[in-house]
Amino acid sequence: SQQGEEDPQALSIQEGENATMNCSYKTSINNLQWYRQNSGRGLVHLILIRSNEREKHSGRLRVTLDTSKKSSSLLITASRAADTASYFCATAMNRDDKIIFGKGTRLHILP
Amino acid sequence: KAGVTQTPRYLIKTRGQQVTLSCSPISGHRSVSWYQQTPGQGLQFLFEYFSETQRNKGNFPGRFSGRQFSNSRSEMNVSTLELGDSALYLCASSLSSQMNTEAFFGQGTRLTVV
Protein backbone atom coordinates (compact mmCIF):
# COMPACT_ATOMS: atom_id res chain seq x y z
CA SER A 1 0.00 0.00 0.00
CA GLN A 2 1.13 3.55 -0.64
CA GLN A 3 2.95 5.28 2.20
CA GLY A 4 2.05 8.75 0.97
CA GLU A 5 -1.34 9.69 -0.37
CA GLU A 6 -1.87 13.07 -1.98
CA ASP A 7 -5.14 14.91 -1.85
CA PRO A 8 -6.81 16.03 -4.04
CA GLN A 9 -5.99 13.77 -6.98
CA ALA A 10 -6.63 16.66 -9.36
CA LEU A 11 -6.99 20.41 -8.93
CA SER A 12 -7.86 23.17 -11.39
CA ILE A 13 -7.52 26.81 -10.38
CA GLN A 14 -7.30 30.19 -12.06
CA GLU A 15 -3.92 31.75 -12.68
CA GLY A 16 -2.98 33.96 -9.77
CA GLU A 17 -4.84 31.91 -7.18
CA ASN A 18 -3.17 29.82 -4.51
CA ALA A 19 -3.02 26.03 -4.76
CA THR A 20 -2.87 23.73 -1.77
CA MET A 21 -2.08 20.04 -1.92
CA ASN A 22 -1.98 17.63 0.98
CA CYS A 23 -0.05 14.46 1.67
CA SER A 24 -0.83 11.90 4.36
CA TYR A 25 1.43 9.04 5.36
CA LYS A 26 1.19 6.02 7.62
CA THR A 27 4.41 5.41 9.52
CA SER A 28 6.96 7.64 11.22
CA ILE A 29 9.39 9.28 8.83
CA ASN A 30 12.85 10.80 8.70
CA ASN A 31 11.84 13.45 6.23
CA LEU A 32 9.34 14.28 3.52
CA GLN A 33 10.07 15.67 0.09
CA TRP A 34 7.93 17.28 -2.58
CA TYR A 35 8.61 16.83 -6.29
CA ARG A 36 7.06 18.22 -9.47
CA GLN A 37 6.70 16.35 -12.75
CA ASN A 38 5.75 17.94 -16.06
CA SER A 39 3.79 15.61 -18.38
CA GLY A 40 5.62 12.31 -18.11
CA ARG A 41 9.11 13.74 -17.84
CA GLY A 42 11.62 13.57 -15.02
CA LEU A 43 10.84 14.80 -11.54
CA VAL A 44 12.14 18.06 -10.15
CA HIS A 45 12.90 18.33 -6.45
CA LEU A 46 11.04 21.17 -4.72
CA ILE A 47 11.56 20.99 -0.97
CA LEU A 48 12.81 18.57 1.68
CA ILE A 49 11.41 18.99 5.20
CA ARG A 50 12.83 17.00 8.09
CA SER A 51 10.74 15.38 10.78
CA ASN A 52 11.84 17.98 13.36
CA GLU A 53 10.79 20.90 11.15
CA ARG A 54 7.28 22.30 10.94
CA GLU A 55 7.45 24.70 8.03
CA LYS A 56 9.73 25.55 5.11
CA HIS A 57 9.61 28.15 2.38
CA SER A 58 11.16 28.33 -1.05
CA GLY A 59 10.08 31.22 -3.26
CA ARG A 60 6.34 30.85 -3.86
CA LEU A 61 6.30 27.45 -2.17
CA ARG A 62 5.42 26.81 1.45
CA VAL A 63 5.50 23.33 2.96
CA THR A 64 4.21 22.37 6.38
CA LEU A 65 4.66 19.12 8.25
CA ASP A 66 2.50 17.86 11.11
CA THR A 67 4.02 14.65 12.42
CA SER A 68 1.24 14.16 14.96
CA LYS A 69 -1.30 14.00 12.13
CA LYS A 70 1.16 12.33 9.76
CA SER A 71 0.44 14.91 7.09
CA SER A 72 2.11 17.60 5.02
CA SER A 73 0.81 20.35 2.80
CA LEU A 74 2.31 22.16 -0.18
CA LEU A 75 1.06 25.67 -0.88
CA ILE A 76 1.87 27.39 -4.18
CA THR A 77 1.04 31.07 -4.03
CA ALA A 78 0.19 33.31 -6.99
CA SER A 79 0.02 30.35 -9.38
CA ARG A 80 1.29 30.61 -12.95
CA ALA A 81 0.61 28.59 -16.09
CA ALA A 82 4.06 27.04 -15.72
CA ASP A 83 2.96 25.49 -12.41
CA THR A 84 0.72 23.09 -14.33
CA ALA A 85 2.21 19.70 -13.44
CA SER A 86 1.83 16.70 -11.17
CA TYR A 87 3.07 17.09 -7.62
CA PHE A 88 4.29 14.17 -5.53
CA CYS A 89 5.20 13.77 -1.92
CA ALA A 90 7.90 11.26 -1.05
CA THR A 91 8.59 9.92 2.40
CA ALA A 92 11.71 8.33 3.81
CA MET A 93 10.69 6.07 6.64
CA ASN A 94 12.61 5.53 9.85
CA ARG A 95 12.52 1.75 9.61
CA ASP A 96 13.45 1.39 5.99
CA ASP A 97 15.99 2.80 3.58
CA LYS A 98 13.43 3.41 0.88
CA ILE A 99 11.73 6.43 -0.55
CA ILE A 100 8.02 5.95 -1.14
CA PHE A 101 6.16 8.24 -3.52
CA GLY A 102 2.47 8.99 -3.41
CA LYS A 103 0.33 8.89 -6.55
CA GLY A 104 0.41 12.64 -6.96
CA THR A 105 -1.87 15.61 -7.41
CA ARG A 106 -2.43 16.82 -10.97
CA LEU A 107 -2.53 20.61 -10.89
CA HIS A 108 -3.93 22.54 -13.84
CA ILE A 109 -3.65 26.31 -13.92
CA LEU A 110 -6.35 27.93 -16.04
CA PRO A 111 -5.49 31.12 -17.96
CA LYS B 1 27.10 20.89 -15.11
CA ALA B 2 25.41 18.11 -17.08
CA GLY B 3 22.25 16.60 -15.62
CA VAL B 4 21.25 12.99 -15.30
CA THR B 5 21.30 11.25 -18.66
CA GLN B 6 19.19 8.23 -19.43
CA THR B 7 19.49 6.20 -22.60
CA PRO B 8 17.66 5.28 -24.64
CA ARG B 9 14.71 7.66 -24.35
CA TYR B 10 12.27 5.29 -26.03
CA LEU B 11 12.32 1.56 -26.52
CA ILE B 12 9.95 -1.02 -27.97
CA LYS B 13 10.53 -4.66 -27.11
CA THR B 14 8.68 -7.91 -27.57
CA ARG B 15 7.42 -10.12 -24.76
CA GLY B 16 10.09 -12.53 -23.59
CA GLN B 17 13.00 -10.33 -24.64
CA GLN B 18 15.35 -8.62 -22.26
CA VAL B 19 16.31 -4.97 -22.04
CA THR B 20 19.12 -2.91 -20.54
CA LEU B 21 18.65 0.73 -19.61
CA SER B 22 21.48 3.10 -18.81
CA CYS B 23 21.81 6.04 -16.44
CA SER B 24 24.70 8.48 -16.14
CA PRO B 25 24.41 10.44 -12.90
CA ILE B 26 25.57 13.98 -12.25
CA SER B 27 29.33 14.13 -11.86
CA GLY B 28 30.29 13.55 -8.24
CA HIS B 29 27.03 11.87 -7.30
CA ARG B 30 27.51 8.40 -5.88
CA SER B 31 23.91 7.34 -5.33
CA VAL B 32 21.71 6.18 -8.19
CA SER B 33 18.11 5.06 -7.70
CA TRP B 34 15.73 3.55 -10.21
CA TYR B 35 11.95 3.89 -10.33
CA GLN B 36 9.17 2.48 -12.44
CA GLN B 37 6.25 4.77 -13.19
CA THR B 38 2.93 3.50 -14.53
CA PRO B 39 -0.53 5.11 -14.58
CA GLY B 40 -1.93 2.41 -12.34
CA GLN B 41 0.80 1.96 -9.73
CA GLY B 42 2.43 5.37 -9.81
CA LEU B 43 6.11 5.73 -8.96
CA GLN B 44 7.58 2.60 -7.48
CA PHE B 45 11.08 2.22 -6.12
CA LEU B 46 13.17 -0.44 -7.83
CA PHE B 47 16.61 -0.19 -6.23
CA GLU B 48 19.32 2.15 -5.06
CA TYR B 49 23.05 1.82 -5.66
CA PHE B 50 25.78 3.60 -3.78
CA SER B 51 29.46 3.17 -4.59
CA GLU B 52 28.78 0.06 -6.70
CA THR B 53 26.76 -1.64 -3.95
CA GLN B 54 23.04 -2.21 -4.00
CA ARG B 55 21.87 -0.51 -0.88
CA ASN B 56 18.17 -1.22 -1.10
CA LYS B 57 15.68 -3.01 -3.27
CA GLY B 58 11.96 -2.57 -3.84
CA ASN B 59 9.32 -5.25 -4.20
CA PHE B 60 9.98 -6.34 -7.75
CA PRO B 61 10.62 -9.83 -9.08
CA GLY B 62 14.12 -11.09 -9.74
CA ARG B 63 13.69 -10.33 -13.44
CA PHE B 64 14.60 -6.78 -12.50
CA SER B 65 18.25 -6.30 -11.73
CA GLY B 66 20.80 -3.56 -11.78
CA ARG B 67 24.39 -2.66 -11.24
CA GLN B 68 26.61 0.35 -10.76
CA PHE B 69 30.05 0.86 -12.18
CA SER B 70 33.08 2.51 -10.61
CA ASN B 71 32.29 5.77 -12.43
CA SER B 72 28.82 5.70 -10.79
CA ARG B 73 27.04 5.01 -14.07
CA SER B 74 24.26 2.51 -13.56
CA GLU B 75 22.37 0.03 -15.67
CA MET B 76 19.18 -1.82 -15.00
CA ASN B 77 18.17 -4.97 -16.76
CA VAL B 78 14.77 -6.56 -17.17
CA SER B 79 14.69 -10.11 -18.44
CA THR B 80 11.79 -12.10 -19.87
CA LEU B 81 9.76 -8.95 -20.52
CA GLU B 82 6.04 -8.95 -19.81
CA LEU B 83 3.38 -6.60 -21.14
CA GLY B 84 3.03 -5.17 -17.63
CA ASP B 85 6.63 -4.00 -17.71
CA SER B 86 5.61 -1.22 -20.09
CA ALA B 87 6.37 1.93 -18.13
CA LEU B 88 8.48 5.03 -17.77
CA TYR B 89 11.72 4.07 -16.02
CA LEU B 90 13.30 6.93 -14.12
CA CYS B 91 16.76 7.19 -12.70
CA ALA B 92 17.72 9.63 -9.96
CA SER B 93 21.14 10.61 -8.70
CA SER B 94 22.16 12.26 -5.46
CA LEU B 95 25.32 13.03 -3.53
CA SER B 96 24.48 10.60 -0.78
CA SER B 97 21.37 8.64 0.07
CA GLN B 98 18.27 9.89 -1.66
CA MET B 99 16.57 9.58 1.69
CA ASN B 100 18.34 12.60 3.04
CA THR B 101 19.25 14.81 0.12
CA GLU B 102 17.84 16.30 -3.02
CA ALA B 103 17.66 13.85 -5.91
CA PHE B 104 18.01 14.82 -9.55
CA PHE B 105 16.00 12.84 -12.04
CA GLY B 106 16.68 12.02 -15.65
CA GLN B 107 14.05 12.36 -18.36
CA GLY B 108 13.36 8.66 -18.23
CA THR B 109 13.24 5.76 -20.64
CA ARG B 110 9.79 4.91 -21.94
CA LEU B 111 9.63 1.17 -22.47
CA THR B 112 6.81 -0.38 -24.46
CA VAL B 113 6.46 -4.15 -24.46
CA VAL B 114 4.35 -5.57 -27.28
Q: Specify the DSSP class assigned to residue B75.
A: E
Question: Residue A61: CB partners within 8 Å, gap ≥ 6?
Answer: A34, A46, A47, A74, A75, A76, A77
Contact assignment for A97 to B107 by CB distance below 8 Å: no
Using one digit for the tens of pLDDT, what is the confidence trace for A35-44?
999 987 889 9
Closest in B42, B100, B102 to A45, CB measured: B102
Question: Residue B34: CB partners within 8 Å, gap ≥ 6?
Answer: B23, B45, B46, B47, B48, B66, B74, B76, B89, B90, B91, B92
Window 20-79 of A: residues touching B by CB (8 A cutoff) are: 30-31, 33, 35, 40-45, 48
pLDDT per residue, tens digit, chain A (111 aa), is 456 788 899 999 999 999 999 999 988 888 899 999 998 788 999 999 999 999 999 999 999 999 999 999 999 999 999 999 999 999 877 656 678 898 899 999 999
pLDDT per residue, tens digit, chain B (114 aa), is 679 999 999 999 999 999 999 999 999 999 999 999 998 888 999 999 999 999 888 999 999 999 999 999 999 999 999 999 999 999 999 988 777 788 999 999 999 999
Report pLDDT for A19: 97
CA atoms within 13 A on the CB side of A80: 3
Q: Is the dihedral of CA A63, A9, A108, A82 positive or negative?
A: positive
Q: Are B81 and B13 in contact (CB under 8 A)?
A: yes
Q: Mapping DSSP to helix (H, G, I), strand (E, B) and coil, where does residue B72 land?
A: coil
DSSP, residue by residue, B22-59:
EEEPPTT--EEEEEEEETTTEEEEEEEEETTEEEEE-S
CA gap B55, B50 in Å, rounded: 6
Q: Does B55 touch chain A (CB under 8 A)?
A: yes
> Mind telling me how many Å the CA of B74 is from chain A's nearest CA?
17
